[in-house]
Amino acid sequence: MGGGPKARAVRHAGRAGIEVSTGAEQDTGTKRQEAGGGSVAFVAVGSNLGDSSKIVIDVFRRLAELSQSPLLKSSLWQTAPVDCPPNSPPFVNAVAGLVTRAGETPDSLLAKLQALEKEFGRQPKKVLNEPRSLDLDLIAFGTEVRAMPQLTLPHPRAHQRRFVLQPLSEIAPDLVLPGQSKTVAELLSKVPEDICMRRLVERP
Ligand code: ADP
Ligand code: MG
């Protein structure tokens, strides 16, 4: 701790230079990371049903509409399914970073992500982790921390998942997710290389 109010740790999230809180400042106030009036949010995108690469690229376009600055886009990665029913097709995974528009809250953003999932053909789940045309997980929303079934922030498994950390490290390697002490790049270097990942499309 120490360092007083001037020791406010801010790191750059990727090439667009969005400033992201490291979480180290223990902001117990509004927890709203000011970034031109909005919060920096990261969304994990996954698809293993239908034309997954096209779906992800189309979704990037829609996510850009939710951002007041150019969307940060990772590469598209093909990844082996994790904890999925047998014979599940591989996933296309990616991560996007956005600066939310004025008035956006974690709940309102999640509702928009869920509406997009539906629009892209996501069916209600019958079997755990069954193939889906689109899965949008909110990885982080500024420095928000909460543990509710309908919305847990940061996403509870993001820091352990190679298919999240690998793309996230392309756009925000120095980000420290709230509750973590290591950067995304450091977390990625520690996570086991247990799944096969292949870059399909370099940062579209
Ligand atoms: P999964 O992403 O684990 O495959 P689903 O996409 O079906 O599962 O999401 C299940 C529930 O998880 C949703 O109803 C949603 O409200 C909840 N949820 C909790 N935290 C988050 C989060 N950070 N991002 C997205 N959904 C979340
Ligand atoms: Mg989900």
pLDDT of 86 reads 87
Tell me the mean pLDDT in the region 190-199: 88
- Across the range 83-94, mean pLDDT stands at 91
The answer, yes or no, to whether any atom of ligand 1 lies below 6 A from the CB of 161, is: no
> To the nearest whole percent, how much of the chain has pLDDT over 90?
71
Cβ atoms < 10 Å from Cβ of 58 = 15
Domains of the chain: total: 1
pLDDT, greater one: 25 or 58: 58
In a domain, 131, yes or no: yes
Q: What is the pLDDT of residue 36?
A: 58
Catalytic residue among 62, 122, 199, 203: 122
Instruction: Determine, yes or no, domain membership for 17.
Output: no
Q: In this predicted model, which residue has the larger pLDDT, 28 or 40?
A: 40
pLDDT confidence of residue 194? 72
2 belongs to a structural domain: no
Question: 10 in a domain, yes or no?
Answer: no
Q: How confident is the model at residue 69 (pLDDT cuts 50, 70, 90)?
A: very high
Q: Is the CB of 114 under 6 A from ligand 1?
A: no
Please compute the mean of the pLDDT values over residues 161-190 and round it to a whole number.
Answer: 97
Q: Residue 113 in 3-state DSSP?
A: helix
pLDDT in tens, 27-37: 333 334 444 57
* pTM, full prediction: 0.86
> Is residue 76 in some structural domain?
yes
Question: What's the mean per-residue pLDDT of the chain?
Answer: 85
Tell me the residue range of the domain where 166 lies. Answer: 23-201
pLDDT in tens, 12-25: 343 333 444 433 33
Q: Which residues pair with 140 in a beta bridge?
A: 42
Has residue 15 been placed in a domain? no
| Ligand 1 site, residue 150, Cβ cutoff 6 A | yes
pLDDT of amino acid 164: 97
Q: Is 116:62 a contact under the CB 8 Å cutoff? A: yes
Active site residue 137: yes
CATH assignment at residue 175: 3.30.70.560
pLDDT of res. 192:
86
- Nearest alpha carbon to residue 137 among 122, 118, 151, 119: 151
Q: Does the pLDDT value for residue 184 go beyond 90? A: yes
Residue 27 lies in a domain: yes
DSSP codes of every residue in 9-20: -EEEETTTTEEE
- pLDDT for 4 equals 29
CA gap 124, 85 in Å, rounded: 16
The answer to whether 113 and 96 are in contact (CB under 8 A) is no
132 is catalytic: yes
Task: Classify residue 18: in a domain, yes or no.
Answer: no
More confident site: 126 or 99: 99
